[in-house]
Amino acid sequence: MTARLVVSLAGIDTRTLHRCADLAEEMQKRQVPLSLLFAPRRDGAVADWVRTRRAAGDAVLMHGFDHSPEPRARRTVSLARRAEFGALPAHEAGLRLTAAVSAMERLGLSTDSFAPPRWHASRGTLTALRRKGFSLCADLHGVHDLTTEGVHRARVLGFAQTERGETLWCFTYVLAAARTARRGGLIRLAVDAADLVRPGPRQAVLDAIDIARHHGATGVTYPEVLKAPAESRKASTGAVTVPAGI
């Protein structure tokens, strides 16, 4: 089976736009499309750039609404509960999605694909997404086909938001991409624009893409993942470390 490579980019704002554009240029050289994780509260030059990238073949996924955590969440609760859609029941998730859909439409960036902040989506969120007509939700453990309820199982690969142990993080990132590519699996590389500030993570992203391509991986967007049969109807619950700010 041919390996598939998905590269997502989050953290797109006016301060990081030039770095995002630089990465997009590198992706074009490698013939790998980006999946842009976009929060609709941003507009202006950022929305213009995202529209341009979509016209060039990149995909756009709604990336939450305002990224505010569950109101009752405290420092002692899990990462999932501190994520915007990590613990919401279906009704509350639906209200946020309604507002986000309207905002995306006003920006000319309608989409039926969703990636929750911090990659955590509650069961209520998945239910709300189906009710709102979304076809895809990419979470921590896999890519949900919301139409068939199938799941393309694959862990997100990302960086920690700290320079501590950065060399090891980068090595692990590249090695995991290579291993998955050799096995013909689905490689999910998560990039936050903040990662691109540091030369180590930026180079690791490019190295991971290059080695995956060397092993025959084909660059695809998240919506294109759904074109292949899903491996399972239940997502894996294996642990994975991801960028906390995505």
The two tokens of residue 210 are 């290059």
pLDDT of amino acid 1:
83
What's the fold here for domain 4-225? TIM Barrel (3.20.20)
CA distance 109 to 46: 12
136 vs 74, residue with greater confidence: 136
165 vs 202, residue with greater confidence: 202
**Confidence category of residue 149, pLDDT binned at 50, 70, 90:** very high
Q: What is the helix (H) or strand (E) element at residue 192, kind and residue range?
A: strand 186-192
Give me the amino acid identity at 226: L
* 11-70 pLDDT per residue, tens: 999 999 999 999 999 999 999 999 999 999 766 999 999 999 999 999 999 999 976 554
Instruction: Report percent pLDDT > 70 for the chain.
Output: 85
**Confidence category of residue 230, pLDDT binned at 50, 70, 90:** confident
24-60 burial by CB neighbour count: b if 16+ within 10 A, else e?
A: beebeeeebbbbbbbbbebeeebbebbeebbeeebbb
The full set of domain ranges for the chain reads: 4-225
The two tokens of residue 55 are 């016209």
